[in-house]
Amino acid sequence: MTIKISVVIPVFNESGAITTLIKKIDNVLSKNYQGNFEVLLVDDGSTDNTNEVLIKEKTHFNWLKVITLARNYGQSTALQAGFDFSTGDIIVTMDGDLQNEPEDIPKLLNLIKENKNIDLISGWRKNRYDATVTRKIPSKIANSLISKVTGVKLHDYGCSLKVYRSEIIKNIRLYGEMHRFIPAIAAEVGARIIEVPVKHHPRTTGVSKYGIDRTARVLLDLIWIKFSRKFIHRPIHAFGGMALIMLISGLLIFSWLFFEKIFLGNDIGGRPLLILGLLLTLIGTQLLAVGLVGELLTRIYHEPHGRKQYLIKKISSSEDNQ
């Protein structure tokens, strides 16, 4: 069976790299996958002449598709646009700044095609050509933290060169800046993931779009990833436990104060313990309400649009043996 390949590349102000990148991809893919691949270059609202270069190059290659976004939405949204319009059985992503090596693509494609148990291959820039203080050290810390929190152990979450089976990536929606967490999100829907060392080149054109300030954004996104992986389908469990603890604590306080008032005759009107009991009861009630609303929203999200909470890998039945 012929397998079609889609390569999705988000670009932003990369006019100096586009022509060279397209030629490199043509040399690699046309030789190995003639007629069975497409390249989707997503212009994420570039303010230079990137779009003009893309439109010009499109006239030379019938496998090239150019998607121009209305404004700069960010890399996650640009990737999502590419995934939405891709038609391949296997989807490759990479950066458009020439730091990823297109010659690595056939190696990764052969690996995922030969191993049916692999759903996602993540590149590892083992020898990385970036600034040590502002890029490599923060990246190493972030990768270690993400691996520990998500349980998906990778050396390099930030490498854009990845290969996916389409049935996996089509069941993932990217929002905000979640692109760096795709392996962790994919693992949640059952993807089997491996990591493979790939080449990395110094940037020769344009300027980096990343700074050390993204470390804070990574931490905030990581909180959401941790929460969503554990509670996205059961929000009542996230808030219900704390709600019960507070409600039971409040109830015990009220019981004690009731005992003091009725049986000991003590005045409880100005007691700080009474205020604490009220606060615990109110907060517990609110947390329980938030959990219940979350459960309703989860059902509203899935049911009207026919979204499933699971991904089927394969269905086997007795008919397969006939």
Domain containing 191 — which CATH number?
Answer: 3.90.550.10
pLDDT of residue 312: 67
> How many domains in the chain?
2
Strand order in the sheet with 120-125: 64-68, 37-43, 5-11, 90-93, 162-165, 120-125, 193-198
What value does the mean pLDDT take over residues 187-196? 91
Residues 136 and 203 in one domain: yes
Residues 190 and 243 in one domain: no
For residue 174, being part of any structural domain is answered with yes
Residue of 93, 71, 80 lying closest to 159 (CA atoms): 93
pLDDT of residue 195: 96
Residues 161 and 220 in one domain: yes
Residues 153 and 258 in one domain: no
For residue 297, being part of any structural domain is answered with yes
What value does the mean pLDDT take over residues 189-206? 89
Residues 239 and 221 in one domain: no
Choose one of 198, 231, 264: the last residue of a domain.
231
What value does the mean pLDDT take over residues 203-213? 69
The answer to whether 184 and 225 are in contact (CB under 8 A) is yes
Choose one of 231, 259, 289: the last residue of a domain.
231
- Is 313's pLDDT higher than 70? no
- Is 211's pLDDT higher than 80? no
What value does the mean pLDDT take over residues 157-165? 94
Choose one of 201, 231, 261: the last residue of a domain.
231
| 283: confidence class by pLDDT, cuts 50, 70, 90 | very high
Residues 33 and 59 in one domain: yes
- Is 176's pLDDT higher than 70? yes
pLDDT of residue 173: 87
For residue 38, being part of any structural domain is answered with yes
Residues 252 and 113 in one domain: no
For residue 94, being part of any structural domain is answered with yes
Enclosing domain of residue 259: 235-302
pLDDT digits 0-9 by tens, 88-133: 999 999 999 999 999 999 999 999 999 989 999 999 999 888 887 7
What value does the mean pLDDT take over residues 80-85? 95
Residues 133 and 280 in one domain: no
- Is 299's pLDDT higher than 90? no
The answer to whether 104 and 199 are in contact (CB under 8 A) is yes
For residue 147, being part of any structural domain is answered with yes
Give percent above pLDDT 70 in the chain: 90
**Which tokens go with 193?**
């993931």
pLDDT digits 0-9 by tens, 142-156: 889 899 988 899 999
pLDDT of residue 14: 92
Give percent above pLDDT 90 in the chain: 54
Residues 169 and 110 in one domain: yes
Residues 119 and 173 in one domain: yes
The answer to whether 262 and 303 are in contact (CB under 8 A) is no
Q: E-strand spans in the chain?
A: 5-11, 37-43, 64-68, 90-93, 120-125, 162-165, 193-198
Residues 115 and 216 in one domain: yes
pLDDT digits 0-9 by tens, 12-59: 999 999 999 999 999 999 988 888 999 999 999 999 999 999 999 999
Cα atoms in the Cβ-side hemisphere of radius 13 Å centred on 64 = 20
Q: Which residue has the tokens 């303010």?
A: 47
- Is 136's pLDDT higher than 60? yes
| 213: confidence class by pLDDT, cuts 50, 70, 90 | low
Q: State the average pLDDT for the chain.
A: 87
pLDDT of residue 182: 93
pTM, full prediction: 0.80
Residue of 160, 286, 205, 146 lying closest to 21 (CA atoms): 205
Residues 125 and 242 in one domain: no
